[in-house]
Amino acid sequence: MNIVLSGFGAVGQAAARVLMNKEKEWKHTYGVHIKITAVLDRSGVVVHSDGLDPEQLLHTKAETGRVDDGSLPPRNVDQLWADSQADIFIDAAETNTLTGGSGLPLMQSALKHGVDVVCVSKGALAFAWDDLHELAEASGRSIKYSGASAAALPTVDTALYSLAGAEVHTIEGLLNGTSNMIATRVAAENITLQEAWEIAKKEGKAEADPSEDIGGKDTALKMYFLTKACLAAEVTWKSIAVRGLDQLSDAEWKQAEQGKTKWKLVGKAHKTAKGTTVSVEPRLLTTEHPFFHVDGAEKAVLFSTDTMGRVLVSGGASSPEGAAAAAWKDVIHLARERA
């Protein structure tokens, strides 16, 4: 499978490292041969239909700050798919929910050219979910987004595969590892939210914009994807009611009792005959709730169904490597489906 990778920042470079270490194992285990045949980012484009060496890509980026090797880039996007002999496009570029970012036109072009799409970036899906999925259906291609919907935590796959045949009516998600880590630290170390966020920022674990993590935006985006994929609901991500951890008052934080209750930033989607409601808000959970026991940077999702009861999935690395591994999981599934 020939891969075109857009974005060579933290996740894109992690994708190269994971492929470098796992490609032989994947070929032996799954019978699929995966190679990167093009990489593009703000610095340039590099294409080789025979495959690019992940180690060399990483070295070039580290030494020069660029991905290209000085060769002439494709004349246009159409030429990119032809020159790379692309099978799958991975969008790992920076998320832009206002315009869909650079990923949106690339995804549209990929689908029109018969190239499957794997998303790590959330921007294009948030901006144009319905249009992109209609285009994919018309083109006979697929869009997968494990890396965008909670990185290494298997959310969509659990609902669509492991719960096939059951009706999912409620989804609860503890989907942002950074906000969970910060909330855990506030409780354990008796410090303020601002202090905990600043520590996470210094550790390189928090976004520069606090609205992404503790403000609830990232959780809202992931809940939107889960709601669209698993509940087939007519919602937009902007319609989701969001209250972040940063909107809790000091008095509310003090309501948590050591060992009895904890504040968690929880997304919830509930489907009834009257429609679907989606929200993100801090919830003071007791020990009876499964999320009470999920601490640090761990994440979790809880599906409630008609015939299979409640199903909890927790864990999953909250890191560039975790997101990259989730993207490669999608690639492996696509490769096996297309075989």
Q: What token pair was written down for 13?
A: 């470079």
Q: How confident is the model at residue 279 (pLDDT cuts 50, 70, 90)?
A: very high
Report the C-alpha gap between 7 and 90 in whole angstroms. Answer: 9
In the chain, which residues fall in CATH 3.40.50.720? 2-152+320-338
Is 118 annotated as belonging to a binding site? no
Is 122 annotated as belonging to a binding site? yes
Q: What token pair was written down for 84?
A: 């790379």
Q: Quick one: what percent of the chain has pLDDT higher than 90?
A: 90
Query: Average pLDDT, stretch 269-297?
Result: 96
| Residues across the chain | 339
Task: Using alpha carbons, select from 204, 213, 155 the residue that is nearest to residue 180.
Answer: 213
Question: Cβ contacts of residue 214 below 8 Å, gap of 6+?
Answer: 178, 179, 182, 193, 197, 206, 244, 245, 246, 265
**Of 316 and 12, more confident:** 12
- Quick check: 70 pLDDT over 70? no
Give the active site residue among 35, 61, 217, 222. 222
Residue 225: half-sphere exposure toward Cβ, Cα within 13 Å: 30
Between the two ends of the chain, the Cα-to-Cα distance in Å is 10
**What pLDDT is recorded for position 72?**
62
Find where tokens 């570029």 sit.
Answer: 93
In the chain, which residues fall in CATH 3.30.360.10? 156-315
The predicted-structure confidence for 236-245, as pLDDT tens digits, reads as follows 998 999 999 9
Phi and psi (nearest 5°) for 2? -95, 130
**What pLDDT is recorded for position 73?**
65
**What pLDDT is recorded for position 338?**
86
Please indicate whether residue 238 is annotated as part of the active site. Answer: no
Find where tokens 């032809």 sit.
Answer: 82
Is 225 annotated as belonging to a binding site? no
- Helical (H) or strand (E) element with 303: strand 299-305
Tell me, what amino acid is at 307? T
- Quick check: 75 pLDDT over 80? no
Count Cβ neighbours within 10 Å for each residue of 156-180 and write b for 16 or more, e otherwise: bbbbeeebeebebebbbbbbbbbbb
Q: How confident is the model at residue 71 (pLDDT cuts 50, 70, 90)?
A: low
Please give the CATH superfamily to which domain 156-315 belongs: Dihydrodipicolinate Reductase; domain 2 (3.30.360.10)
Fold of domain 2-152+320-338: Rossmann fold (3.40.50)
What contacts 24+ positions apart, CB below 8 Å, involve 128-135? 128/100, 128/104, 129/224, 129/225, 129/228, 132/107, 132/108, 135/108, 135/111
The predicted-structure confidence for 253-272, as pLDDT tens digits, reads as follows 999 998 999 999 999 999 99
Q: What is 221-258 written as a DSSP string?
A: HHHHHHHHHHH-----GGGSEE--GGG--HHHHTT--T
Angle separating helix axes 320-338 and 10-30, nearest 10 degrees: 40
- Quick check: 197 pLDDT over 90? yes
Q: Please, are residues 57 and 75 in contact by the beta-carbon 8 Å criterion?
A: no
- Quick check: 207 pLDDT over 90? no
Is 10 annotated as belonging to a binding site? yes
Query: Average pLDDT, stretch 14-24?
Result: 98
Q: What token pair was written down for 182?
A: 């910060």
Report the C-alpha gap between 95 and 223 in whole angstroms. Answer: 16
Is 331 annotated as belonging to a binding site? no
